[in-house]
Amino acid sequence: MPAKIIQTNNTPLQKIEVDGVTVDLIENALKNARVEMDAVLFRTAMSPGIREQGDCFPMIANVEGKMVVGQFGSFIGPFLQAYDAEIEEGDIILTNDPYMCNAAVSHLPDWVVLVPVFKDGRHIAWSAMFGHMTDNGGMVPGSIPIEATTIYQEGIRIPPIKLYRKGELQSDMLELILHNVRTKEWNRFDLNALVAACNTAARRCVDLAERFGDDVLFSTMEIMLQRNHAAMKFIIEAFIPEEPREFEDYICDDGMGMGPYRIKCRMWREGSVAIFDFDGTDPQAQSSVNFFLNEDMFKMFFGSFTINVVDPQIVFNDGFYDLVDVRIPEGTLLKPRFPAALSGRTHALGRIFDVLGALLGMGAPEQMLNAAGFSDSPHLFYSGYDDKGEWFQLFQIGFGGIPGRPIGDGPDGHSLWPGFTNVPNEFIESYFPLRIERYETIPDSGGAGLHRGGNGLSIAYRFLCDGHIGIHDERWLTYPYGVLGGETGMRSSKRLVRVDGSEQWLPAKVEGVKVCKGDLLYFNTWGGGGWGDPLTRDPQLVRTDVDRRLMTSEGARRYGVVIDDAGQVDAAATEALRAEMAAARPADLPLFNLGPGIEAIRARCESETHLPAPVAPTFTGVAARSSAA
């Protein structure tokens, strides 16, 4: 049964009329409170993943748990449906187990804190935040084991518990949890920082209620949700067709030699409701690449994507959820059955955005269609004992090329999540036995197009102590697709140069790789796909990219642009080359350029990537592929 909120003041909150000026004041105050949550967290957390990189997601919600302001909503509602207990003033809830909170969080390293906000004995709001912990116990440092086959191997599972009960810390419970992780103090400080951020937001909500009145705050939150509902209703009716569309893309492999795994979605509209049906997605994997996707979480992805494309000024919140119907078959990669492993869900999460972007944009490609590039969130893990005999453990998120877009080129080496930043190299070199010898974009790695795809990154890590590394990445086998005649982006690669000069090409998903002092890892990420016909790009823009070392002179020829020895555009040679290239290709350029087919990629895999091709997945113990496969 759903959670029960215990109030000493049961006077119902009333929906009343609120003037526009007051709504704007409260809306902006709530936005500022959400930003303040980040500020508190970044100043008090300890791990580089949260403190420096920002792998955390705050929100402020109404009494029903609907996010009003925030970055990554939707998890309070599923939690409340699953939590069979009473919640009182002073309680603070902690959980990380996707299977016990309706996938409110989707893998164990994400610890979520939820704070019910009370004023004068009455529940008036929620604040919540989750952050990715550097370690959660389990088989490997970093707690994202590639070879895990059940969630029991992925670290400590924290059911929804009261970390604070009526304002009192349950210290025995906390110590039991921290006893099971490798980075005990980092986790302690990061958890305290999450609590402090949520308490800060709670105080701001109470301040607003005291200033304007409980009913005014309650009603303003409803107005903010309704504004979002009206905006999303207009967007859905304008951009989602009644005629079904479908698109599919792939996770390259599972790290255990099988792949690729298909994610398929069909989209259409009935009245004002957008429908997304994932029938045809592959069954759940035997490894940890499954992504337990809560339906409300996908609605959040959809809303975030469309609002940012159509009108970023719209306040993003959960007000539109009744306008979206999400259908995910049980037992598939996106809704695995317990106790399937989930820790490597990042790959499917990233690929969802490429699928979603294709579906939303194909009907209005000039206005809404992005190429592919929201493809993954690559991870590097490095751990061991330093020269002083002290344990070190690094978890770092890397960035790739963002896709070309209707409004322009894709950013180079940018995060999948807009709020993420890179961990400064100086920080890494100060606190870990590492030296960063290269941090640069990879020329020509973005797909050619009228608007080129963003370039991937090449980072060279020199290991200064013996240890072990793990890698999680994607788009090493399949290509980030181009659109409207744009070309595919370059694929990712990982090359380890040993101190003796020997080389080893590493898989995109690997763990437990022994590294020695002096070894050098070249960590190269993918480029974003190109948007539009590359032969229509201004030659001077191409020359500028060559000057900025984002493109080589040879790479400029993909655009039909000839750069002479003086570094200038040879106009006559460019005109001739473009005419030759245009004559050699079809008159009608494809809407999607997916690159070679799966079987062709498999056949050329080893010669192109230095890695054996993955074999077709088997689905022991789960349903066979659908007949549409």
- The number of helix segments (H) and strand segments (E) in the chain equals 14, 24
Model pLDDT, residue 418: 65
**3-state secondary structure at position 458:** strand
Do 167 and 278 sit in the same domain of this protein?
no
| Helix H or strand E encompassing 41 | helix 20-44
Looking at the structure, tell me whether residues 463 and 511 fall in a common domain: yes
What per-residue confidence (pLDDT) applies to 563? 97
Calculate mean pLDDT across residues 293-316: 86
256 located within any domain? yes
Evaluate whether residue 319 is within a structural domain. Answer: no
165 and 220 belong to one structural domain: yes
**pLDDT band at residue 311 using 50, 70 and 90 as cut-offs:** confident
- Per the DSSP assignment, residues forming a β-bridge with 325 are 275
Mark whether 124 and 141 lie in a shared domain: yes
**Claim to verify: residue 373 and residue 465 sit in the same structural domain:** yes
Q: Is the same domain home to 583 and 593? A: no
Q: How many domains does the chain have?
A: 3
Q: 527 pLDDT exceeds 60?
A: yes
Shared domain for 38 and 107, answered yes or no, is yes
Residue 309 belongs to a domain? no
pLDDT digits (tens, 9 = 90+) for 140-159: 999 999 999 999 999 999 99
The answer to whether residue 627 sits within a structural domain is: no
Is 398 found in the same domain as 508? yes
**What's the pLDDT tens digit per position in 378-422?**
999 999 999 999 999 999 998 999 999 999 999 998 876 667 788
Highest mean pLDDT among 257-266, 292-301, 421-430: 257-266
The token pair at 552 is: 């080589």
Residue 28 and residue 156 share a domain: yes
Q: Is the pTM of this model over 0.75?
A: yes
Share of the chain above pLDDT 90, in %: 85
Which tokens hold the place of 463?
């290991």
Give the dihedral sign, CA 599/604/608/613. positive
pLDDT at 536 over 80: yes
**In terms of DSSP bridges, do strands 324-327 and 273-277 run parallel, antiparallel, or are they unpaired?**
parallel
The letter for the amino acid at 240 is I
Mean pLDDT of 7-22: 96
Whether 518 is covered by a domain: the verdict is yes
Q: How confident is the model at residue 53 (pLDDT cuts 50, 70, 90)?
A: confident
**Judgement on whether residues 207 and 166 belong to the same structural domain of the protein:** yes
Rounded mean pLDDT, 507-519: 97
User: Do both 273 and 201 map to the same domain?
Assistant: no
Residue 376 identity (one-letter amino acid):
D
Annotate 299-337 with DSSP letters as a single string.
Answer: HHHHHHHHHHHH-TTSPP-STTGGGEEEE--TTBTTBPP
Q: Are residues 344 and 483 in the same domain?
A: yes
- Quick check: is 299 in a domain? no
Domain assignment present for residue 214? The answer is: yes
Check if the beta carbon of residue 354 is closer than 8 Å to that of residue 377: no
Are residues 107 and 144 in contact, defined by beta-carbon separation less than 8 angstroms? yes
Dist CA 590 CA 373 (whole Å): 18
Q: Specify whether the CB–CB gap between 529 and 371 falls below 8 A.
A: yes
30 falls within a domain: yes
Domain boundaries, position 554: 537-588
